A and B are shown apart, each in its own frame.
Chain A
Amino acid sequence: SQQGEEDPQALSIQEGENATMNCSYKTSINNLQWYRQNSGRGLVHLILIRSNEREKHSGRLRVTLDTSKKSSSLLITASRAADTASYFCATALRGATNKLIFGTGTLLAVQP
């Protein structure tokens, strides 16, 4: 089952612009993670934010988490053509197994 919905489904921007992707989820979480996937390839872990954190930075990435609204956002600043990929949020659910459930994903295209 899908825990998260992401929007937009697809985003096309010019190099140098910022890209913002949003994720909403349904149940209580331990943490929320963002992953990147190039077409047909494996996943690359980008950043993890814990349920008691509100904002986190890593290089050109900025992630926010609002547990009251059950939502998160990923901001990529100064985008590059190499950032073109699909981006997924994934929520680690509370509970014994800590299942990691993925959102629907955002396909980002950065035009050079």
Chain B
Amino acid sequence: GAVVSQHPSWVICKSGTSVKIECRSLDFQATTMFWYRQFPKQSLMLMATSNEGSKATYEQGVEKDKFLINHASLTLSTLTVTSAHPEDSSFYICSARGTSNYGYTFGSGTRLTVV
């Protein structure tokens, strides 16, 4: 079945630094990638949607200059959290959608802790 590899699975960084999270679709072409954030004991909140080769579309309230999304190829999308602060500590999950009608494949998530 379709697999999305997400790395790293966890990362600890200092305030003010930037962190890059990668999601790769291993056996299908991800035409659309969705990025979610999940705070403890809460649901997944959609941050942005990106189509390969296009600029990402951000949800209301999500700072596009802080959360940089790149979807330069059909198998790779990255989320960069710039100038991270402790309040950015969260669980980040990607989801890729290929050409099938209904399939969404999720990465295993990245737990980001900013100290």
Contact = CB atoms under 8 A, between A and B. Distances in A.
A104 B38 CA distance: 11
A90 to B, nearest CB: 8
Interface in A1-18: 1-2
Leading 6 A-B pairs by shortest Cβ distance: A42-B108, A102-B44, A43-B106, A105-B43, A42-B109, A102-B43
B28 interface: no
A48 interface: yes
A62 B97 CA distance: 25
Interface string B27-61: 00000101010000111111001010000010110
Nearest to B111: A40
Nearest to A30: B102
Given A42-B106, A43-B93, A99 B45 contact: no
Interface residues of B, number: 25
Contact of B46 (A31, A45, A88, A99): A99
A71 to B, nearest CB: 17
Contacts, number: 53
Interface in B41-90: 41-46, 49, 51, 57, 59-60
Q: How large is the interface on A (under 10, 10 to 19, 20 to 34, 35 or more residues)?
A: 20 to 34
Nearest to B36: A102
Nearest to A107: B41
Given A1-B60, A88-B43, A101-B46, A42 B34 contact: no
A98 interface: yes
Max chain A C-beta neighbours (<10 A), residue from B32, B42, B46: B46
Given A42-B108, A43-B93, A100-B95, A2 B102 contact: no
Given A41-B109, A42-B93, A103 B43 contact: yes
A104 B45 CA distance: 10
